[in-house]
Every structure is written in C-alpha cells, then in structure tokens.
Amino acid sequence: MDVNPKAPAPFPGEVIQTPGGGILVSRMDQVINWARSNSLWPLVFGTSCCAIEMMSTAAAKYDWSRFGFEVARATPRQADVIIIAGTIVNKMAPVLKRLYDQMAEPKYVIAMGACATSGGPFFYNTYSVVKGADHIIPVDVYIAGCPPRPEALIHAMLSLQEKIKSGMTREQIKMEKPEQSF
C-alpha cells in the first residue's frame, strides 16, 4: 500500500501524514523498516490453546521461519513482537503490561485468537477475563478464530510486516507524533 495516500475530498476524519522528510531520511527509514520487518523475533508467550497452534506454526509443516520469525526468545529484552496466544485474565494483565514495557523499542503486538481479541468464548458470565488484550497494550494485528489455523497466524505476520514497512504500526505513529499518542 502506498505510504502517503491523498485523502478523498469529503474525508470525515483527519489524515495523519506520516512525516516523509527528505529523500535521505525517508529512504533510510524505509531501509530500516524493511530490515526490521524481515526479522521479527516473537516472545515465547502462550497462555492457552492458541499457544499450541503457535507451536504448530513454529514446527516443520507450517514453518514460520520462512518469514524471519525463526527465533522465539524467552525474554522480552530480545523479542520484537508479542504474539498474545490465549486468554488474558485479570491476574495476568499487569504481567502482560510489564512484559510489554520491558521490551526493546521497536515492538509490535499480534492478538491471536478470539480470546485475545475480545475475550472470545469467555465474554459472558465470567468475572475474571479481560475482554480483549487491547485494554492493556496497543495491538497491531488481530486474528480471528478459536484457535486460528497456523495459516491465519502466518497471514497475520505478513500483514504485520506490511504495516511495519509502511510505517503504520501504533508504535511507529506514536514515535513520530508523541503528543498525539493514543
């Protein structure tokens, strides 16, 4: 998708122009984003059933190392992307927030499965489930499914890579325009 699309005339919202800057800076940014998007190291973070599908994606048949996701790091210090694979519960929320804060700066989040997106099958009549992981940390890509198939997870990773290359992830927008961070 092209980076700075011209907004159509009657555009309701406000278009955030990603600051292109001079040739050198934008060229440099694109090279950096390209390099970052092709070596995203996921954090080993599986809470429930989606973690098994994540492991199937890591295994030989659906092999996510074809896209640079090879190395699943155990510590947030060396991880780039958190794949929230499973339900986030009230007791787990501060832990997830702390892990997200302790990650090195270009960090992205994929909310895998219905539980991470909106509480999923545990939405009604549960006193302990956080209804969606974006209540806690900003999420870049959501995946539907309970659990989503490995192909869906790989598709989500590819769309995350697209988002990074075009500089549209939440963290990148927050970096460029700190006062407008949401």
Per CB under 8 A, residues contacting another protein are: 32, 43-49, 51-53, 55-56, 59-61, 74-77, 86-87, 89-92, 95-99, 101-102, 105, 121-129, 131, 146-147, 149, 175
Comparing C-alpha atoms, which of 72, 91, 92, 94 is closest to residue 83?
72
Label the pairing between strands 81-85 and 42-43.
parallel
Using CA atoms, how far residue 101 sits from 86, 98, 107, 118, 178, in Å, is 19, 5, 10, 22, 17
Q: Are 140 and 173 in contact (CB under 8 A)?
A: no
Closer of 15 and 21 to another protein (Cβ): 21
Using CA atoms, how far residue 22 sits from 25, 169, 177, in Å, is 5, 21, 17
CB of 9 to another protein, least distance (A): 35
Distance, CA of 26 to CA of 116 (rounded, Å): 34
CB of 166 to another protein, least distance (A): 19
Closer of 7 and 104 to another protein (Cβ): 104
CB of 3 to another protein, least distance (A): 19
Closer of 1 and 118 to another protein (Cβ): 118
Give the orientation angle of helix 150-165 with respect to helix 50-58, to 10 degrees: 80
Closer of 4 and 181 to another protein (Cβ): 181
Closer of 27 and 97 to another protein (Cβ): 97
CB of 165 to another protein, least distance (A): 17
CB of 137 to another protein, least distance (A): 12
